[in-house]
Amino acid sequence: MNDPRARNPLPRLRLIDPRPVEQNGELRYLLRDPLQLSDNMLIVPPALAAALAFCDGTRDAESICAAFALHYGRRIPLRAVKQLLDALDDVCLLENDRASAAQAAALQAYRRAPFRQPICAGSSYPDSAPALKRALNEYLKEHGESAPATANLRGVISPHIDYPRGGPVYAQAWSAATRIAQHADLAIIIGTDHYGDDPFTLTRQNYATPYGVLPTAQPIVEALAEVIGPANAFAGELRHRVEHSLELPLVWLHHARNGQPIEVVPVLAGSFGPFMNNGHAPSSDPLVQSFLDAVAQLVRNRRVLFIASGDLAHVGPAFGGPPVDNQGRARIADADEALIDHIRAGNADGFFDDIRRVGNSNNVCGTAPIYLTLKLLEAAQGNARGYAHCPADDDGASIVSVCGVTLC
């Protein structure tokens, strides 16, 4: 078989998630593949990590070396770059035939499986039902609301950060949502698509938790796919396999229902970046409005719980920014309070406008899910159910802020 690199002399890097790590006391970068096409991961020194910026599909190995030297004023050995490209190819991080074949095989396996495996089980939460029940009940005992919210509650804004950091806020939000969670016969959950720009990404696959399987509402998914366009609706479906933003709130939903199943419509929502720049409200986009109209029509006569899975600010060195000090934390808290006020008022456009006004400088990752859910709930009124700054690095210089809100 011909070497794929021979057919792709101008290497293009796939979307990756680089993370700084320490190895033998030295800084290195772990190159994580959001789609996890390979069982192996690559760790590279800073110089080679910097060279990745030039793997854009317009340069061969020699040109990458030249661009690196021009940009940084120092040379990098051609042999090292060629070895880097070989290693990237070995773990399917280049856009070529090998990566395409691996992605097709992974998607086929995902679709053929009886359900989507819970990827956070055993790390963010226990992977057995009894242990999970004990752990979540402990959060509820220590942090939960004393009484569930009224039966007219229709929606919940939930974090999707891991439970060790966000557990208290999850507990406050989901204890208040217990009654509607048990009463509902359908859950529409919209979560942040951290690695995709598609406006909406659907899946026909069922989601599982340690309590069992939550069946996907197939007729609703098919109807929404027709609105979005079937090819577009499922183009990024493989991201459901590795995305945590739907899984973590769904575990709490399943727990609130005492392990009883409920039909779910799992939707990943991509970045609202284009609307940050064009000055238009997201709902002015025909596709976004058609999606909202279709959901409203499809869930008539159903007892629906709408769930927005989204965290708030992501700031500090872990996210490419300066360290956060006490004054910075206070500024973030003030900005978040304004956003939470818009959420409580059901003001989707005010929520989005506040984020757009500052160019999303706080990296609010729940923008799309929260906005869409507020639009679906049509000017609902809400109650805040917890807020926290969660550490995002070992130095305490980076934080993720999270909140919970219930909506009537």
C-alpha to C-alpha distances, 305 to 130, 178, 216, 290, nearest whole angstrom:
25, 11, 14, 20
- CA 377 distance to own-chain centroid: 22
Q: Which tens digit of pLDDT belongs to each residue from 352-386? A: 999 999 999 999 999 999 999 999 998 799 999 99
Is the pLDDT at 108 greater than 60? The verdict is: yes
Mean pLDDT lowest among 6-20, 214-228, 343-357: 6-20
Q: What is the DSSP letter of 152?
A: T
Domain boundaries in the chain? 4-107, 115-407
Of all residues in the chain, what percent carry a pLDDT higher than 70? Answer: 97
- CA 156 distance to own-chain centroid: 17
Amino acid at 35: L
Pick the CATH number of 115-407 from 3.40.50.300, 3.40.50.1220, 3.40.830.10, 3.40.50.720: 3.40.830.10
Phi-psi region of 275 (alpha: psi -120 to 50; beta: other; left: phi over 0): alpha
How many CB atoms neighbour CB 112 within 10 A? Answer: 8
pLDDT given at position 145: 81
22 band by pLDDT with thresholds 50, 70 and 90: confident
pLDDT given at position 228: 98
Is the pLDDT at 393 greater than 80? The verdict is: yes
Q: Which tens digit of pLDDT belongs to each residue from 115-168? A: 999 999 999 999 999 999 999 999 999 999 866 666 689 999 999 999 999 999
pLDDT given at position 8: 67
Is the pLDDT at 1 greater than 80? The verdict is: no
Residue range 231-241: mean pLDDT, rounded: 97
Is the pLDDT at 389 greater than 90? The verdict is: yes
pLDDT given at position 239: 98
pLDDT given at position 2: 46
- CA 401 distance to own-chain centroid: 15
pLDDT given at position 305: 98
Residue range 100-126: mean pLDDT, rounded: 97
Of all residues in the chain, what percent carry a pLDDT higher than 90? Answer: 92
- Contact of 238 with 205, CB cutoff 8 Å: no
Pairing of strands 304-309, 155-158: parallel
240 band by pLDDT with thresholds 50, 70 and 90: very high
pLDDT given at position 151: 67
Residue range 278-300: mean pLDDT, rounded: 96
pLDDT given at position 152: 87
At 289 the three-state DSSP class reads helix
Residue range 216-224: mean pLDDT, rounded: 98
Which tokens is 207 given?
Answer: 């989601």
pLDDT given at position 4: 44
Residue range 72-88: mean pLDDT, rounded: 96
Adjacent-strand bridge partners of 43: 30
Q: What is the DSSP letter of 125?
A: B
Q: Domain 4-107 has what CATH class?
A: alpha beta
